[in-house]
């Protein structure tokens, strides 16, 4: 991922230095387990630990000759470990190291993402409660529907992000496995008990069965989860972008002092952060697609997945970390304009109360078909003539024959539409 979108903690997980540190941790866990089981001398792990060092530049130099990154790493390691180094990688295959270390990296990345969501959730909750009673127009198909509140919009985002938190925890769990089962996964040269002990040292569970690799449905679930979280961020961003349009202007994302919106037009205040997040969500879906295509490998394995994962796992986790932290800033600093919400609500001449009129007429004994005809007739006239829907109803003899002026007035009370908002918000904490 480019530096522009890389935050330090997450970016630090995916450096070459960090990768080889994980590889060394995996090799040491296996060596310690082998010693505990009596397969190698008991004092070997401590001796290796005291001496073992690696150098990224040296590994790259060796790899340029041998064209195998794990062998290059092991060769470099042997240059510092002395005679005891012959016990490193004992009975193992490359994927035991690479896949198990990747699981650790993905687990650590999930921890950062989970923390990001845990920081975002109370920000969403606070804003939802703040605007719980701020009336705005609900839109379906982009057209005025019925009144809602801006707080309820945000509450939906809150609950969705709560679900995403659980998804991330599940994704972390599904990749928290390691393998030390050797070539094609049959434990032909390594004891399954070594795998159990080594995984426990690394905070992982042993894969219940593997061939030469940990099965990639796990990685696909993980990456798909990241894409779903990205889709939620896109959903929120798209709503903010629509509401920031000049013709609507019900909210704006934060606009900093000194910020400039356009190189040509000094008046511009563009939703650049939410536009950026929308674009990034497209990348997240692409990463998930690539991960799904990695599930099907030839026989006991090939390495068509390897080149893909070197790119998509770091890039997806780095990007989602950035997206979540940016979204938190947007929600926290969101500019909300209740007066514009009221103005927009009024623009449709009261048409948004049509369902209440319909139901009131039905309650007076009219058939649904007849009531719908009466309401729609006046609604269409209101659209066409830009006249008050309520005034048209008050001057419609057929409607007046069924409803009193007071009954018509009561249909246009916003509070009646929102009387259950508190009940929805009562679900926030249980």
Distances (CA, A) of 57 to 26, 72, 80: 21, 11, 15
Task: Give the pairing type, strands 335-336 and 205-206.
Answer: unpaired
Contact 384, 378 (CB under 8 A): no
Query: Which stretch of DSSP H or E encloses residue 116?
Result: helix 94-130
Q: Determine the distance from the C-alpha atom of residue 123 to the mean position of all C-alpha atoms in its chain, rounded to a whole number.
A: 16
Which residues have a catalytic role annotated? 141, 262
- Token pair in block for residue 260: 């400039």
> To which H or E segment does residue 380 belong?
helix 368-385
Cα–Cα distance, 140 to 136 (Å, whole number): 13
233, 283 contact by CB (below 8 A): no
Q: Which residues, other chains included, contact 397 with Cβ-Cβ below 8 Å and sequence gap of 6+?
A: none
The dihedrals phi and psi of 34, each to the nearest 5 degrees, come to -60, -40
Please say whether the beta carbons of 207 and 179 come within 8 A.
yes
Asked if residue 224 lies in contact with residue 291, where contact means CB atoms within 8 angstroms, the answer is yes
- Copy the structure tokens of residue 217: 């449905």
Rounded Cα distance, 286 and 280, in Å:
10
3-state secondary structure of 293: helix
Q: Is-contact 194 33, C-beta < 8 A?
A: yes
What letter does residue 351 receive in the DSSP assignment? G
Q: Specify burial of residue 195 (Cβ count, 10 A radius: 0-12, 13-18, 19+).
A: buried
C-alpha torsion angle, residues 390, 395, 397, 400 (rounded to 10): 50
Burial 55-84 (b: 16+ CB within 10 A, else e): eeeebeebbeeeeebbbbbbbbbbeebeeb
Q: Within 131-216, where are the H helices?
A: 150-175, 192-202
């Amino acid at each position: 991922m480019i530096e522009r979108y890389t935050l330090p903690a997450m970016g630090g997980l995916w450096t070459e230095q960090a990768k080889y540190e994980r590889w060394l941790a995996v090799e040491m866990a296996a060596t310690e387990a082998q010693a505990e089981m009596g397969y190698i001398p008991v004092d070997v792990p401590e001796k290796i630990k005291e001496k073992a060092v690696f150098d990224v530049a040296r590994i790259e130099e060796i790899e340029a000759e041998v064209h195998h990154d794990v062998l290059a790493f092991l060769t470099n390691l042997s240059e510092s470990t002395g005679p005891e180094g012959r016990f490193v990688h004992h009975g193992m295959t490359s994927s035991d190291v690479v896949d198990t270390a990747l699981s650790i990296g993905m687990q650590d990345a999930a921890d950062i993402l989970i923390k990001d969501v845990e920081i975002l959730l109370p920000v969403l909750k606070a804003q939802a409660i703040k605007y719980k009673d701020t009336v705005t127009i609900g839109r379906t198909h982009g057209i005025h529907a019925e009144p809602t509140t801006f707080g309820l919009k945000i509450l939906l985002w809150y609950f969705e992000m709560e679900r995403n938190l659980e998804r991330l925890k599940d994704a972390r769990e599904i990749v928290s496995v390691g393998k030390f089962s050797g070539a094609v996964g049959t434990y032909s040269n390594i004891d399954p008990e070594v795998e159990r002990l080594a995984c426990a040292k690394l905070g992982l569970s042993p894969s219940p069965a593997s061939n030469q690799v940990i099965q990639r449905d796990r990685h696909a679930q993980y990456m798909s989860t990241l894409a779903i979280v990205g889709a939620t961020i896109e959903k929120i961003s798209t709503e903010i972008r629509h509401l920031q349009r000049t013709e609507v202007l019900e909210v704006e994302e934060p606009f900093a002092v000194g910020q400039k919106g356009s190189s040509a037009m000094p008046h511009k205040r563009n939703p650049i952060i939410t536009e950026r997040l929308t674009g990034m969500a497209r990348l997240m879906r692409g990463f998930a697609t690539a991960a799904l295509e990695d599930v099907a490998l030839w026989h006991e394995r090939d390495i068509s997945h390897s080149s893909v994962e070197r790119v998509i796992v770091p890039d997806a986790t780095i990007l989602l970390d950035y997206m979540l932290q940016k979204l938190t800033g947007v929600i926290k600093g969101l500019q909300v304009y209740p007066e514009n919400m009221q103005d927009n609500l009024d623009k449709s001449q009261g048409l948004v109360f049509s369902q209440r009129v319909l139901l009131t007429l039905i309650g007076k004994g009219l058939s649904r078909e007849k009531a719908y005809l009466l309401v729609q007739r006046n609604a269409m006239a209101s659209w066409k003539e830009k006249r008050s829907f309520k005034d048209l109803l008050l001057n419609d003899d057929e409607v007046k024959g069924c409803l009193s002026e007071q009954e018509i007035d009561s249909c246009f009370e916003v509070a009646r539409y929102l009387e259950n908002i508190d009940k929805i918000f009562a679900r926030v904490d249980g």
